[in-house]
Amino acid sequence: MTEPDVHTLAGPYVLDALPENERTHFEAHLAVCAFCTSEVAELRTAAVKLATQVSTPPPPGLKTNVMAAIENVRQLPPQVPVVAPTSKTRRFTRRSVLTLAAAALAVAAAGGVAVDQYQDRTAAERANQQMAAVLAQPDARTVHGTVEGGGQATVVLSTKANKSVVVLRDLPKLPAHHTWQLWMMDPANKATSIGLATGDITQVINGSTTGMTTFGLTIEPDGGSPTPTLPAAAVVPLV
């Protein structure tokens, strides 16, 4: 299991779903990271903020007026300055071309790392925003359970929103060609798959909440199974 990106731990931290070592590590990180400090503060106050927000409907006819105005707006072409070539701009040697190519490759590599970091940060922001929306529901509830072999499963659910948030932390390493499969079960123990995971996750589940009484976690072959393989690694009552 790879070390989790510390920026993705804001949601599990607020839900008290981190093991002690990760909690200590994240709290030390909070002292130097304004982004995560802001995320934690926003998640903790999500219920108050979302409950007091009031939407303002647009004035009548706004869409019609905008669509009519668009037809009369001419899009101008981009203004590109024309630079006359000089003897200096035309003088490219093989060495200068190779130097430019090497520089371009270096920039591309650095850019790839930056893009990956940006995508990780954006995914963390999106997950925390979705979690905040579930936490803000008046009927939101949080339940915890342990995973066989180590680890913890936390579920936040809202019947009103028909959504739940599943946080899996510190899971044991799986055998080769196996995956974790997440389930919701109704009172008759009929299981509905709600996703797969190869390791620790924070995942928002849309639907499959109303009437469900148990969250289950099982170890399945790659690609998952149509029904849970027993015994389950975790069974967490939701009621």
Domain boundaries, the chain: 6-49+135-237
* Gap between the Cα atoms of 9 and 24, Å rounded: 12
pLDDT in tens, 56-96: 556 666 566 656 655 555 555 555 555 555 554 445 455 54
Reply yes or no on whether the pLDDT at 135 is more than 50.
yes
Q: What is the DSSP string of 106-152?
A: HHHHHHHHHHHHHHHHHHHHHHHHHHHHHHTSTT-EEEEEE-TTS-E
Between 94-135 and 34-44, two packed helices, what is the crossing angle to 10 degrees?
20
What is the reported pLDDT for 51? 42
**Residues 6+ positions from 39 with CB-CB distance below 8 Å:** 10, 11, 124, 125, 128
What's the predicted TM-score (pTM) here?
A: 0.55
Q: Which of 36-40, 57-61, 186-190 has the highest mean pLDDT?
A: 186-190
pLDDT of residue 76: 54
| Confidence check: pLDDT of 15 > 50 | yes
pLDDT band at residue 47 under the 50/70/90 scheme: very low
Length of the chain: 239
Helix (H, G, I), strand (E, B) or coil at 26: helix
Task: Give the tokens for residue 171.
Answer: 């899971």
Mean pLDDT throughout 24-39? 84
